């Protein structure tokens, strides 16, 4: 069987879905591999590296025609459909709730589409979990970038000339990205606070050295899949009062709160930002889904009353090598779960929860 991948639109996506080290692993499992000319050149991976690993380099049209399985980050452009023969398999991160019409056009061609943001949160799926692997990097990078924007030192420094206080960081949302943000900020010497609607996060936050801000009378608002639920109006009001008081002393806010398939909840409101200290920084990782903070604009730096608000559509474009490495490994593990090596064919076993949940029906 042939596995192929074509270049993404590099203006919006710099990650790649196959790396040279994984080409060898695919080949050892019986696959042939094809990638487009210049596939990884923008992140410093030459065609020669792919060729040495055993990969075939070809033009986009030939890859789409010859591949049995196509690995991507985003859905290919619709004009690519003319090169799709029936019964191909397309695997990636396709934001299925937002791209139903486009996905339907590919499905008309009897393409089996697997979108890995739909993976169930079970132990066996952890090695395929693209949301966790990418969120981990996003949480780290958000802290690094916000600290670079902050005009003061982060750790406490005691000198003969006087003492510089440690920066105070608040992380909103203690999922994978939030926990990595807490760990990174703590390692760099900040005093870290965190809040989340899931009470189960409290122990995790405290294990990383953060202080968990508890909303009075809160309950555990967590789905069976481990994601945050949408909160009640009463909870939102209590959370708002808690944040208003705490944000007055916070230097840096990292926003990571998302609800799968829905607009991001607005948590840091205008009046809260108005009362923050001048020179404070907000990094909104939820910018692509509307943002957790008022005034957030994708790919723009906004200044409001001395507060700097940052939000990017795809922060992982700043870490494309690391992000590609992890994403490509997630895809590799998913493909192996699909593949019947003995009979050299893909087996779409709908009794397998991983396959059943990710196949767009």
Strand 89-92 with 69-71, pairing? parallel
pLDDT at 226: 55
Phi/psi region, residue 353 (left: phi>0; alpha: psi -120 to 50; beta: rest), is: alpha
Contact predicate 259/227, CB 8 Å: yes
Strand 2-5 with 69-71, pairing? parallel
What span, in angstroms and rounded, lies between the C-alpha atoms of 343 and 2?
15
What share of the chain in percent tops pLDDT 90? 79
Active site residues: 121, 126, 129, 132, 227
* CA atoms in the 13 A half-sphere facing the CB of 311: 22
Rounded average pLDDT over 239-251: 92
Q: Where do you find CATH 3.40.50.720 in the chain? A: 2-118+320-358, 136-317
What span, in angstroms and rounded, lies between the C-alpha atoms of 297 and 306?
16
The CATH architecture annotation of domain 2-118+320-358 reads: 3-Layer(aba) Sandwich (3.40)
253 pLDDT higher than 90: yes
For tokens 């591949």, what's the residue? 67
What span, in angstroms and rounded, lies between the C-alpha atoms of 206 and 216?
18
Is the Cα torsion angle 141, 285, 171, 146 positive or negative in sign?
positive
131 pLDDT higher than 80: yes
What span, in angstroms and rounded, lies between the C-alpha atoms of 22 and 16?
12
Range scoring the smallest mean pLDDT among 68-77, 112-121, 252-261:
252-261
pLDDT tens digits, one per residue of 203-224: 999 999 999 998 776 555 555 5
Q: 136-317 maps to which CATH number? A: 3.40.50.720
Rounded average pLDDT over 130-135: 96
Question: Integer distance in angstroms from the first to the last C-alpha of the chain?
Answer: 24
SS3 327: helix
Q: Of 277, 267, 283, 213, which Cα lies nearest the Cα of 247?
A: 277
pLDDT confidence tier of residue 346, bands split at 50, 70 and 90: confident
232 pLDDT higher than 80: no
**What's the pTM?**
0.91
pLDDT at 14: 97
Question: Looking at per-residue confidence, does 184 or 217 come out higher?
Answer: 184
Most confident of 106-115, 122-131, 196-205, 223-232: 122-131
197 pLDDT higher than 60: yes
130 pLDDT higher than 90: yes
Average pLDDT of the chain, as a whole number: 93
Is the Cα torsion angle 29, 128, 331, 347 positive or negative in sign?
positive
Name the strand (E) or helix (H) holding 28: helix 20-28
């Amino acid at each position: 069987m042939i596995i192929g991948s074509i270049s993404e639109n590099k203006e919006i996506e710099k990650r790649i879905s196959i790396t040279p080290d994984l080409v060898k692993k695919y080949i050892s499992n019986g696959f042939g591999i094809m990638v487009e000319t210049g596939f990884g050149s923008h992140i410093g991976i030459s065609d020669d590296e792919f060729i040495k690993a055993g990969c075939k380099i070809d033009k986009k049209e030939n890859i789409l025609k010859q591949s049995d399985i196509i690995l991507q980050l985003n859905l290919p452009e619709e004009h690519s459909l003319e090169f799709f023969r029936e019964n191909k398999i397309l695997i990636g991160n396709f934001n299925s709730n937002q791209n139903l019409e486009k996905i339907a056009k590919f499905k008309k061609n009897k393409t089996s589409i697997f979108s890995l943001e739909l993976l169930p949160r079970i132990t066996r799926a952890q090695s395929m979990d693209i949301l966790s692997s990418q969120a981990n990097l996003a949480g780290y990078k958000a802290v690094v970038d916000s600290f670079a924007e902050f005009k003061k030192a982060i750790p406490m420094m005691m000198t003969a000339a006087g003492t510089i206080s440690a920066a105070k960081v608040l992380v909103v949302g203690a999922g994978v990205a939030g926990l990595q943000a807490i760990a990174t900020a703590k390692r760099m010497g900040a005093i870290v606070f965190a809040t989340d609607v899931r009470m189960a996060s409290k122990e995790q936050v405290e294990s990383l050295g953060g202080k968990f801000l508890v909303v009075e009378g809160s309950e555990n608002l967590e789905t069976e899949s481990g994601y945050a639920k949408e909160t009640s109006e009463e909870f939102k009001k209590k959370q708002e009062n808690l944040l208003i008081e705490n944000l007055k002393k916070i230097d840096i806010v990292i926003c990571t709160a998302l609800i799968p398939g829905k607009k991001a909840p607005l948590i840091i409101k205008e009046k809260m930002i108005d009362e923050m200290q001048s020179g404070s920084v907000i990094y909104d990782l939820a910018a692509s889904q509307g943002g957790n903070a008022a005034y957030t604009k994708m790919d723009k730096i906004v200044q409001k009353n001395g507060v700097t608000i940052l939000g990017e559509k795809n922060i992982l474009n700043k870490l494309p090598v690391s992000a590609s490495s992890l994403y490509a490994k997630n895809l590799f593990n998913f493909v192996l779960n699909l593949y019947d090596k003995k009979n050299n064919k893909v087996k779409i076993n709908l009794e397998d929860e991983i396959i059943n949940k990710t196949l767009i029906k």
